[in-house]
Chain A
Amino acid sequence: MITEKKSIFRPFTALKYLFRRPHTFCFPFEQKPTADRYRGLHLNDREACTGCGNCADICPNQAIAMVEQPDVAPCPGKKNELPQVDYGRCCFCGLCVDICPPGSLSLARDYIHIAPSPESFLAYVPATEASGGEAFVTPPDYSIMKASLSHRLADNAGFVSEMDYSLVDFERVPMEVVPPEDRRNSFVEIVKGFSEEQARREASRCLDCGLCEDACPANMGIADYVRAIWEGDNAAAVRVFYEKNPLPSICGRVCTHKCEEACGIGRRGQPVAIRWLKRYAADSVPPERLGEILARGPAETAQKKVAIVGAGPAGLSCAYYLALAGHSATIFEALPKPGGVMRYGIPEYRLPYDALDKDIGHIQSLGVEIRCSTRVGRDVTLDGLHADFDAVFLATGFHVGRSTRVEGTDHPHVFQALDLLREITRGGDVMVGRKIVVIGGGDVAMDIARSMARLQATRYGTIHTTCCCLESEDIIPASREEIDEAREEGITVCPARGPQRVEIDAGRIRGLHTVECTSVFDEHGRFDPKLNPENKQFFEADMIVEAIGQAPDLSYVPESLDEKLAKEGRRIQVSEDLQTSLPWLFVGGDLIEGPDVIHAIANGHAAARGIASFLESKS
């Protein structure tokens, strides 16, 4: 190694440094730029932050605490909390950035924090006279706002979240469905469901943050049941379902999944498939084992009698929770079978009848009596129920279709979607036009269009069904999956069309005249459609179906009762316990919340609690 060659010129080799750039001294001075990925103090994009708390959960040093923001109102998909970082503990590893589902949290390119006084940002200070000799007491000047970097420049972000290198799994396990060509003329259920491996893999994506639980109208313990499914304990998952919802097989198929809309992973990726996981766990338990898994019969308390009008989701849910509380519930249902709009409105390919029978069957096994084909207002009266029962719950729902009332809609071949759907479910004969036009853009419109298309395919071998609605493509009220599946099945969906009149010639419908609808809501969000008569489109049809909205039928409430009921406009006013101004009368479901199954179920549960406390106060 040592080359001990000596030479008198060796020192002169140092001259090579004369023109080399030195390490430390730099003239003219250049500010050394911080690297793009620098890990400094935190930045949080308040708008994007959901308050989920995953950052706090993953921090290895427990440096992050979620602090409530009293001035911010929580809404579905956003908690009113923000992360607060204790820089005495933070090691700047950036795991919080990598776990953040919306990617709102990042680390800045500096370690500079400017504060007016130390007490404003130090959460814990040593003992002083003012603190009475107590150490680690938060000073009065301390404020999360001042400490939480609200002054920092938002464009100084360094280490940011990258989806390919994020700890969050943004992609859902795909759900296998029956392909469109096999669906055309069959009412077989479209969704095939998860296998065990798929379900556990999908459930493993859930980060346990609970945004979904806050958004669920029934406040189900979603994080708990998803974890149970991940661990392979479907029975435990089912037990969690039934704490808040006695219709899991149904909701696992048709719930409007507010949870999935709130899921933090859905901000940049695909939300956890909570509905399909519920379907998987509910289906995994055969009906005969349900009683054993739930391991509870009705409680033994004073047996009061409660009458429930309507065997829809609200009525069934109320009956179930009343039965658990030890009361005797009797449901009066006008139609031949229980289920309400769930059976008679939602087509079989979305909600097969055996799923309905399974859930409803379990409720009946608790001793709930359902008297079908018994219409209140005809076979029994509301006054009669008031006399024979200790309390009454009205849950008759929205089962009457609204009409556009444009010219020609009084023709016998202009139908209401709900009437047709009911008839299809009953197995009766329905008219199947060669060319059908459905007016409406909601889920009911999709339901009837897709049902009629199947009937057309079965009868004629071809499909000619068109759906037109006022709303433009971006605000069509039906769920995106319904619209996409409808189009896959060959239905034409035409947005932004307003019906003008039905053309009738020689007593037969020829078609529907429509004009362009340029806007549906005014600047205040009120329904006020604007039409452009110049842009005309004619849809050929021999049958027209209206599906523009549902309304209740409260004709069974006698006037003597009706005038005693407090109302808000036309809606019956109820307390938080769903009690009306008549203490023995409770109302819930569509009548209070508008058409939605999970809201109705939540209402039923709340009403059961309200009724139970009312009955207790009476005795």
Chain B
Amino acid sequence: MSEEELKSAIERGVEAATATVQRPGRLLAAVPNAAAVTALILLKARGFEHLSAISCTDWIEEEQFELVYHLWSYQDRIHVMLKTRLPRANPWTVTAAPLFPHAQTYEREIHEMYGVHFDGNPRLTPFLLDHWRGPPPMRRDFNTRDHVRERFGIEERIP
């Protein structure tokens, strides 16, 4: 299946989806959050069995988080970046773990770093951070410099 065929399939099969062929082997597909799971099922059924990763970007000025599911088909050799947006004020979505078991870990990290909640994920427990009591640190409004200043009081002394 070519990138163009995949693009058409996604736009037909998933409500309100727009897909762009970025270059040979790369397809960008943007779907509303309600259709994200449908899109994942469509892709998995079409041979996209490998979930490379799930990443999250903070578009703070648009007050949205963007989740990107990175999927790869060994057969067609296409990498799909399935993008979906969540409102920053209440980032809640559904887990992809039943489809891709190891999505659980990526979602766990995004939960810890961004504060996104994945309903149905059995393990949204602390992952990389130890005894962290601050806000989700990968958010753009969390400034590491300011945090160090407040927490350790060091910065003032460095000329």
Contacts and interface: CB of A to CB of B under 8 A. Distances in A.
Q: Quick check: do A and B touch in the complex, using CB within 8 A?
A: yes
B134 interface: no
Interface string B130-159: 000000000000000000000000100111
Interface residues of A, number: 5
Contacts of B159: 65
A137 B158 CA distance: 9
Nearest to B159: A65
A136 B153 CA distance: 11
A65 B159 CA distance: 9
Q: Which of A65, A136, A137 has the most CB of B within 10 A?
A: A136
Contacts of B158: 124, 136
- Report whether over half of chain A's contact residues are helix, strand or loop; otherwise say mixed: loop
A135 B159 CA distance: 14
Contacts of A124: 157-158
B116 to A, nearest CB: 29
A136 B154 CA distance: 8
Nearest to B157: A136
A391 B158 CA distance: 51
Interface string A122-149: 0010000000000111000000000000
Contacts of B154: 136
Interface string B45-58: 00000000000000
B148 to A, nearest CB: 13
B69 to A, nearest CB: 31
B93 to A, nearest CB: 35
A124 B157 CA distance: 9
Nearest to A135: B157
A137 B154 CA distance: 11
A135 B158 CA distance: 11
Contacts of A137: 157
A540 B159 CA distance: 70
Nearest to A65: B159
A136 B156 CA distance: 10
Contacts of A65: 159
A140 to B, nearest CB: 15
Interface in A66-82: none
Nearest to A136: B157
B146 to A, nearest CB: 16
Contacts of A135: 157
Nearest to A137: B157
B91 to A, nearest CB: 31
A471 B159 CA distance: 51
A64 to B, nearest CB: 13
A65 to B, nearest CB: 7
A65 B157 CA distance: 14
A433 B80 CA distance: 80
A285 B150 CA distance: 49
A182 B157 CA distance: 65
Interface string B91-110: 00000000000000000000
A136 B155 CA distance: 10
B85 to A, nearest CB: 30
A285 to B, nearest CB: 32
Interface of A: 65, 124, 135-137
The 3 closest A-B pairs by CB, nearest first: A136-B157, A136-B154, A136-B158
Interface of B: 154, 157-159
8 contacts: A65-B159, A124-B157, A124-B158, A135-B157, A136-B154, A136-B157, A136-B158, A137-B157
